[in-house]
A and B are shown apart, each in its own frame.
Chain A
Amino acid sequence: MAKSNLSDAILVNNYIAGDENSLALLIDRHQSRIYGYIFSKVSDRDLTEDIFQETFFKVIHTLKSKKYYNEEGKFLSWVLRIASNLIVDKFRNDKKMPLKRDTEEFSIFSNITDSSPDIEKKLIKSQVDIDLKMIIQKLPHDQREVIMMRYYSDMSFKEIADFTGVSVNTTLGRMRYAITNLRKVIEKNKIYLPS
């Protein structure tokens, strides 16, 4: 698949020109991040599938109608912005805020696989996850956003900067403040977070 080495911008142009396979390559390249990003916000598999699908329906519609997209190399940020808007719309329509909860299927930190399934470790880890999530929720929005995108959506700082519309330095600064604030909250509340 020599085509998989092509940049996003070229694949987008090829797709607009009628090459359907380019869309498959773009989806294959970014599906994990986009899906992970949506899931980190809605914490529900079925809803994530729906929003993922709707996101790409919008992408397809927009590209085929040649309305927008001329940002070279920023395809992922653009798609994430569409997904983000759809998530906001979804919860606005439901008139409720997204409920963050642990389920048997997913814990936001559960992707750190434990090779030895020790029940005690699992319990401790579960408690740490809950504590950490509670602390993160107390951060200001911009700092929380950077933490979520960096650690839960695996986005680079460049991608976060593109997505949030600020410079990379600002993003790094927000991350620094977020870490500092997390430490302060942990110390202030004397929370024990074993590594």
Chain B
Amino acid sequence: MAKLYSKRKLAPKKMLPKKETIRLILQYSCALSIVKVGNINFDLIAN
């Protein structure tokens, strides 16, 4: 039944974020570390 509604795709093929956005996300990921002390999580961002 799904095929009945799948013939025509209107969805964007190339809706992509900017490269700077991706770069920023990956840099944030590399910089972030989370340390758990007791029940509290501390976020550490490396410069």
Contacts and interface: CB of A to CB of B under 8 A. Distances in A.
Interface residues of A, number: 34
5 contacts: A31-B22, A39-B12, A53-B17, A60-B32, A156-B2
B2 A60 contact: no
B29 to A, nearest CB: 5
Interface of B: 1-2, 5, 8-18, 21-22, 24-26, 28-30, 32-34, 36, 41, 43
A157 interface: yes
B16 A32 contact: yes
Contact of A49 (B2, B17, B43): B17
Which 10 A-B residue pairs are closest in the complex by CB-CB distance?
Answer: A154-B11, A36-B15, A111-B12, A56-B25, A151-B10, A65-B34, A64-B34, A60-B29, A157-B2, A36-B12
A80 interface: no
Interface of A: 20, 23-24, 27, 31-32, 35-36, 39, 48-49, 52-53, 56-57, 60-61, 64-65, 108-109, 111-112, 150-154, 156-157, 168, 172, 175, 179
A152 B21 contact: no
Contact of A52 (B2, B14, B17, B41): B17
- The interface residues of chain B, by DSSP majority, are classed as mixed
Given A31-B17, A53-B21, A154-B9, 16 more contacts: A27-B26, A31-B22, A32-B12, A32-B15, A32-B16, A53-B25, A56-B25, A61-B32, A61-B34, A111-B10, A111-B12, A151-B9, A152-B11, A152-B12, A153-B11, A157-B5
B1 A151 contact: no
B25 A60 contact: yes
Nearest to A110: B12
Given A35-B17, A49-B17, A57 B25 contact: yes
B23 to A, nearest CB: 10
